[in-house]
A and B are shown apart, each in its own frame.
Chain A
């Protein structure tokens, strides 16, 4: 490799690039992005493993219970509200679609399977991301920029054990429970529209659910909710914990950007992983 006298960039350097190097630039850019992405993925995986490992250390139970209350119990109202109207809209749309084929008897099955297999886990994950995930990123991020995490280090308290591990474990506990609430209330929403407002027979609605929903549907839905819990909690905690390493901003602005980034990344990853997990479960 030719070595110039100075390593400093100089005027006209752009012009001296050979066509080969110039054409390779987009590939270098993409390559750099891919390497960075793989790097982040690896770091996040180690981050998750460390957090899960530290769940089983002493003095963790009360912290996990506190986070289950914060992430899970406090989200119940919004989950009930969203699931009720999701079920009602689903019942309304499906009733009119099915009535064209004279198949309104299958409304219960359509509503319940849609909720249990797909909408329940996905919408629950997105709602918790919006409510608790953003709060986790902001809280951990502020603790980072206000040196509270450094203070934990100086007090010989492991920040992973104290801050991250309880949040990820609590998410893994809360997501399936809230998904169950979403499914149940959503089915009631479908019942309100189909039976109480549009006049479908209550027995037909219930029988359709019992005849078509089996254990695999429920377990698949819960597997998805656990996968989403891991993704959302890891992304939100990671973004907050490493907020000081952001290159685009510092301080409060960095916390704001990290929170936005955490919510967007979590939602996108939930939808992408939904497709991947569904494919795997259908094999």
Chain B
């Protein structure tokens, strides 16, 4: 990581009339990372983002771009800096009078002298990548919210920008589609290696794709750091913002947030000290990238969602508690169980899973998948006994090292 931030705010203050929206905000954004700004609605996240792209000017303070103050840059330098940035609006800001193709082609048509064939090639490539081939000649008003988001994303990426700003890219989407959009952003960020700056409420899903989190609270940035560091951040922000968003997530998926999971696990450790056993099971969905490539982000998210619900349904009933640790990784703690008992529970789970679970998950996945397509994928699981003094991460690593395939969707068997 470069030591000079790509973008830096120093004591930025912004007022609208007498109302202060940003008050001496300081932040750093580094190149090549996914940085997510989280905060309550109306806390000024979009205002902050609009300062980066130059749509708003600060009343006080300085913005630095690659270490140089923007206020001291020449007009041509500012213009060339801004040319590297794309912006995906919260409301998409698609042109109602243009169809999907023309919306995506607009920046190339208006700001470059590329030949029509080259523009066509680039636009068609983006349309295919964002799974919009069927909607190419449709107008924004004829598209679903998810498709409009994908058109906005395709338009933001058409100029191959080095920095992309996403203003609440998942607003108004259902939980599966929210994760599909985040997954798509993460995939493109890895593929094109741009710096992503995102405003989002999707906790904990944004943690899986973010390198850094910035917390905007009471008109100031109160936290900058990794998602892991945020879980140890002791501040009213955690109680007011993170907790409320995490409880919503639990209601939607049945899975605990990582922070809640750690608290529950801490209780297990205490029991462990008094001689009570517990076990950790780690589940992974393998070949998820192949599923995304073959069937799309929506299908992949349906599989993840269905898997989460299946795990919670099975283990939640017997007192287990689970969390999603990475995009395709789930961790379940089985309290009051030694390795032999946990092994028996797992054997029951595996038998049910092979008989019914995998086909149930595929049925859910088919809600978004094209009916004529199928991609093989496997579910891996590993089990390890909890140690009173050991950190949960080391037990998870131990369980992962024990993983073996517990179920596989075989497309040839379905045919």
Contacts and interface: CB of A to CB of B under 8 A. Distances in A.
A155 B89 contact: no
Interface stretch (A34-42, A91-99, A145-153): A145-153
Nearest to B165: A154
Given A147-B91, A147-B93, A154 B106 contact: no
B55 A156 contact: no
Contacts of B83: 156
B110 A59 contact: yes
Contact of A155 (B50, B96, B110): B110
A59 B53 CA distance: 25
Interface string B103-117: 000110111000000
B87 A151 contact: yes
A162 interface: yes
Interface size class of A (residues with CB under 8 A): 10 to 19
Interface in A133-162: 142-143, 146-148, 150-151, 153-157, 162
B85 interface: yes
B82 interface: yes
A151 B106 CA distance: 11
A153 B106 contact: no
Nearest to B167: A147
Interface in B353-410: none
A68 to B, nearest CB: 17
Interface in A71-101: none
B148 interface: no
Given A147-B93, A148-B95, A154 B110 contact: no
Given A154-B53, A155-B106, A156-B83, A147 B89 contact: yes
B86 interface: yes
Interface string B64-106: 0000000000000001001101110101011110000000001
Contacts of A151: 87, 89, 93
A155 to B, nearest CB: 4
A148 B93 contact: yes
Contacts of A155: 86, 106-107, 110-111, 155, 159
Nearest to B53: A154
Tell me which of A143, A148, A157 has the highest count of chain B C-beta atoms within 10 A of its own C-beta: A148
Contacts of A153: 53-55
B55 A162 contact: no
A150 B87 CA distance: 10
Contact of B93 (A59, A150, A156): A150
Interface in A143-201: 143, 146-148, 150-151, 153-157, 162
Contacts of A142: 96
Contacts of B96: 142, 146
B115 to A, nearest CB: 14
Given A147-B93, A148-B93, A148-B95, A154 B87 contact: yes
B10 to A, nearest CB: 23
B78 to A, nearest CB: 11
A146 B286 CA distance: 42
Contacts of B91: 146-147
B191 to A, nearest CB: 21
A162 B107 CA distance: 11
Nearest to B83: A156
Interface in B121-171: 155, 159
A157 B87 contact: no
A280 B182 CA distance: 65
Contacts of A157: 106-107, 110-111
A142 B140 CA distance: 15
A240 B94 CA distance: 18
A151 B151 CA distance: 13
Given A146-B93, A147-B93, A148-B93, A154 B55 contact: yes
A154 B163 CA distance: 12
A143 B82 CA distance: 22
A154 B86 contact: yes
A157 B103 CA distance: 13
B253 to A, nearest CB: 32
Contacts of B54: 153
Contacts of A156: 79, 82-83, 107, 111
A76 to B, nearest CB: 22
A11 to B, nearest CB: 21
Contacts of A59: 109-110
A162 B87 contact: no
A59 B107 CA distance: 13
Nearest to B158: A155
B89 A162 contact: no
Interface in B232-275: none
Nearest to A154: B87
A259 to B, nearest CB: 17
A146 B152 CA distance: 14
Contacts of B89: 147, 150-151
Contacts of A147: 89, 91, 93
Interface in A98-154: 142-143, 146-148, 150-151, 153-154
Contacts of A143: 95
A193 B93 CA distance: 53
Interface string A192-221: 000000000000000000000000000000
Residue from A142, A147, A157 having most chain B Cβ neighbours under 10 A: A147
A218 to B, nearest CB: 37
Q: Lowest 7 A-B CB distances belong to which pairs? A: A151-B93, A154-B87, A147-B93, A155-B107, A157-B110, A148-B93, A147-B89
26 contacts: A59-B109, A142-B96, A143-B95, A146-B93, A146-B96, A147-B89, A148-B94, A150-B55, A150-B89, A150-B93, A151-B89, A151-B93, A153-B53, A153-B54, A153-B55, A154-B55, A154-B86, A155-B86, A155-B106, A155-B107, A156-B79, A156-B82, A156-B107, A156-B111, A157-B107, A157-B110
Given A148-B95, A154-B55, A162-B110, 5 more contacts: A150-B89, A153-B54, A154-B86, A156-B79, A157-B106
